[in-house]
Structure 1
Amino acid sequence: MKTQSTKIALVTGATRGIGLETVRQLASAGVHTLLAGRNYETAVARALELQAEGLPVEALRLDVDDTDSIAVAFEHVQQRHGRLDILVNNAGVLVDDLQAGASGQSLDTWRSTFNTNLFAVVELTTTLLPLLRNAPAARIVNVSSNLASLTLHAQPGSEVYGFLVPAYNASKSALNAWTVQLAHELREGPIKVNAVHPGYVKTDMNGGQGEVDVAEGSRSSVAMALIGFDGPNGSFSHLGESLPW
């Protein structure tokens, strides 16, 4: 079945937290949304809950760290829908030792963090790019963080100065750099690529230590996913406000 009129979105890391709420908000806006997660049974359970609310949600098994899983997901979307209008790269990890500083993180920590927060995003996005090109005007949203900002980290008194989760921070800085490069490559066409900071959100990743709930934290991703022809490309923002690189 190939859906022709309704927008098709795919949200990674969508079985909980910001990802799940992003699915809810996109589906509430009328977008047929693929709820992607590593555990298919969990993805199905979450999708059924949202379907029970009358929302157009479909479960998709996708482990962003696994090349074969990405290939299978591509085939599924291609055969079922033929295109992809929105890709929200939401999946991410934070595994830093908070007491170890920049020099004390293990190489495994650096590698696993970059594998999920950068390399998986690059692989998934480039694999799905033919489907995004098949859409009239696709949107790619990379969920970053204000912790990616080199400017803020170097600015005493900023909200992130001295907030040391080095592998995570650096991986999100690299994600921002990838965003700018891809946006530049695609600038002559209808696809727009942007990075967003969701806010300091109460999630399992930070042990519920955030300042805003997931509904508020998902708004930036959803708004950027739904921007029109005159919307930004290659930007880094939070709720429409530009952030320093």
Structure 2
Amino acid sequence: MQNPQHSECQQRAIAEVKSAYSHLPHGDRIFRQCVEGQNSIAEVLKAKDPDSAGILKTERPSSYKIEQPYLSIISESHISTMSIVKTILITGANTGLGLEVVKSLCRSTTKYDILVGCRTPSKGQAAIDEVKNEYPSTSSTLSTLQVDLESDDSLQKAVETISKEKGHLDILMNNGGVAYDPQISSGAIGIREAWNKSWNVNVAGTQVLTTLAVPLLLKSSDPRLIFITSGTATLTETESTASENLKRLNGSPAAGWPKEPGFSTTSYRSSKTGLNMLMREWVRILKNDGVKVWCISPGFLATSLGGYGSEQLKKIGALDPVIGADFTLSVVEGKRDHDTGKIVRKDMIQPW
């Protein structure tokens, strides 16, 4: 059994170190790594800022000084008695793949603080109620956060809320997206409006949110930035008709104009190709900040995205969204850490 006096001593040590870290480069991240038990405090200080390791053995300015006898406890232990819950924001989390990812997180043995990003808060709350009914014993917590990818004001307020209430963000999952190709085919929306909306949500809005959220990610000990892309977005495979799905996507219609309406994803897949480039830019920008960045290509899933209807999509080979959600969870939990900077599919790297 742990000595109560030792425990009290350790807690005081934690408080003193946390106070000292506030003055150091990357202080928040250093402290969180120690609390999570990833490294001893001495190890993290040495790795992050060699000069600051002196705080363990010298008297710097008074704010850096750590009193004895807490010094030996700090330098020798991992202080892993405090468990830090990972905070994750998922955009478009009230429906489709986003909702299934929330459910996968709630099935996980890891505890998460899940921010259900949604345009309409009432729909986000309805999604949370559904998840809680299905997984009443989950250890994860859920809350709604209004995230309208077409509104800079909404995105600014969302990030400010996270900053105020959480102080950091461990995982940003850019899942929210739209597809208007069926509406173009039916004449319900014009080409320009559909394309502008697709790129505004799928690329521009995602870029604005990511830019605003990066400072919060940098306060995490293990920051992860994820973009949900599409298998339709690969340029390499646009010439392939090797499967029924690829024939449907890449096959050419008969000569003549106008073309017969068919299964079209032109505006959607083009915007997702743009999103792939956006991911690569964030890999470049955050290369020296320790942020893991991916695109996830979850597969052809039977969701309501685009208005085709999940049942109709199942008839042409779409998979249960749970499959894509569980794969996405595996990336969140480190199974594809060796593939950062890539577009990952469940069983391979998606070609560019």
Length-normalised TM-score, structure 1: 0.90
Quick one: distance in 1 between partners of 2:337 and 2:100?
26
- CA deviation string 1:75-108 (max 9, x = no partner): 11111111111111111111014785xxxx7111
Quick one: distance in 1 between partners of 2:288 and 2:335?
15
Quick one: distance in 1 between partners of 2:268 and 2:115?
26
1:207 maps to a residue whose letter is G
Aligned equivalent of 2:104, options 25, 42, 48: 25
Quick one: distance in 1 between partners of 2:195 and 2:115?
30
1:145 Cα deviation after fit: 0.5
1:40 and 2:121 correspond? yes
Quick one: distance in 2 between partners of 1:144 and 1:229?
16
Structure 2, gaps ≥5 residues long: 1-81, 252-262
Moved over 6 A (4+): none
Partner of 2:171: 86
Aligned equivalent of 1:116, options 192, 201, 207: 201
1:154 Cα deviation after fit: 2.5
Quick one: distance in 1 between partners of 2:227 and 2:150?
16
Partner of 1:140: 225
Partner of 1:216: 323
Quick one: distance in 1 between partners of 2:91 and 2:337?
26
Quick one: distance in 2 between partners of 1:156 and 1:215?
26
Partner of 1:65: 150
1:27 Cα deviation after fit: 3.1
Partner of 2:283: 183
1:190 Cα deviation after fit: 1.8
Tell which structure's C-alpha radius of gyration is larger.
2
- Report the count of equivalent residues: 240
2:202 maps to a residue whose letter is N
Instruction: Give the 3-state SS of the residue equivalent to 1:231 in structure 2.
Output: helix
1:207 and 2:309 correspond? yes
Aligned equivalent of 1:96, options 164, 168, 181: 181
- CA deviation string 1:157-213 (max 9, x = no partner): 362423641111110000001111111221222211101111111111231104211
2:204 maps to a residue whose letter is F
Q: CA 1:229 to 1:238, structure 2 compared with 1: closer, same or farther past 3 Å?
A: closer
Structure in which a larger fraction of residues adopt helix? 2
Q: CA 1:97 to 1:47, structure 2 compared with 1: closer, same or farther past 3 Å?
A: closer
Aligned equivalent of 2:95, options 16, 37, 42: 16
Over the matched positions of the two proteins, sequence identity in percent amounts to: 28
Quick one: distance in 2 between partners of 1:37 and 1:45?
11
Deviates more, 1:181-190 or 1:126-135: 181-190
Structure 1, gaps ≥5 residues long: none
1:66 maps to a residue whose letter is S
Instruction: Give the 3-state SS of the residue equivalent to 1:177 in structure 2.
Output: helix
- Where relative contact order (Cα < 8 A, 6+ residues apart) is larger, the structure is 1
1:23 Cα deviation after fit: 1.1
Structure 1 vs Structure 2 CA RMSD: 2.2
Q: CA 1:133 to 1:67, structure 2 compared with 1: closer, same or farther past 3 Å?
A: same
Quick one: distance in 2 between partners of 1:151 and 1:229?
22
Quick one: distance in 1 between partners of 2:232 and 2:104?
25
Q: Is the 8 A contact 2:301 2:320 kept in 1?
A: yes
1:166 and 2:266 correspond? yes
Partner of 2:77: none
Q: CA 1:229 to 1:138, structure 2 compared with 1: closer, same or farther past 3 Å?
A: farther
1:93 maps to a residue whose letter is V
Q: Is the 8 A contact 2:87 2:170 kept in 1?
A: yes
